[in-house]
Amino acid sequence: MGFRDRLGSGQFIITMDTIPPKGVDLSGNYKRVDPLKGRVDGINVVDMPSAVMRMSALPVSYLLKERGFEPILQVTCRDRNRLSLQADLLGASALGIENFLFLKGDEIELSHDAEAKPVFDLDTVTLLRAARRMEKGQDLVGRELKGAPRFCVGAAVDPGARPLEGEIEKMEQKTASGAEFFQTQPIFDVGNFADFMGRVKHLDIPVLGGILLLKSAVMARFINKNVPGVDIPQGIIAEMEAAADPVEKSIEIAVRTITVLKGIARGVHIMTINWEDKIPLILDALGL
Q: Is the pLDDT of residue 253 over 80?
A: yes
Could you give phi then psi for residue 139, rounded to 5 degrees?
-85, -175
pLDDT digits (tens, 9 = 90+) for 115-148: 999 999 999 999 999 999 999 999 999 999 999 9
pLDDT digits (tens, 9 = 90+) for 223-233: 888 877 788 99
One-letter amino acid for residue 50 of the chain: S
- Predicted local confidence at residue 229, as pLDDT: 73
Q: Is residue 231 part of a domain?
A: no
pLDDT digits (tens, 9 = 90+) for 259-288: 999 989 999 999 999 999 999 999 999 988
**Res. 97 pLDDT band, cuts 50 70 90:** very high
Q: Is residue 238 part of a domain?
A: no
- pTM, to two decimals: 0.95
Nearest-angstrom CA–CA distance, 76 and 245: 35
Percentage of the residues of the chain whose pLDDT score is greater than 70: 100
Alpha carbon 93 to its chain centroid, in Å, reads: 19
Q: Is residue 45 part of a domain?
A: yes
- Predicted local confidence at residue 157, as pLDDT: 97
Nearest-angstrom CA–CA distance, 165 and 249: 34
CATH number of the domain that residue 112 is part of? 3.20.20.220
Q: Is residue 52 part of a domain?
A: yes
The alpha helices in 41-140, defined as continuous H runs, are 57-66, 82-94, 124-135
Parent domain of 132:
3-209+266-274
Query: How many domains, the chain?
Result: 1
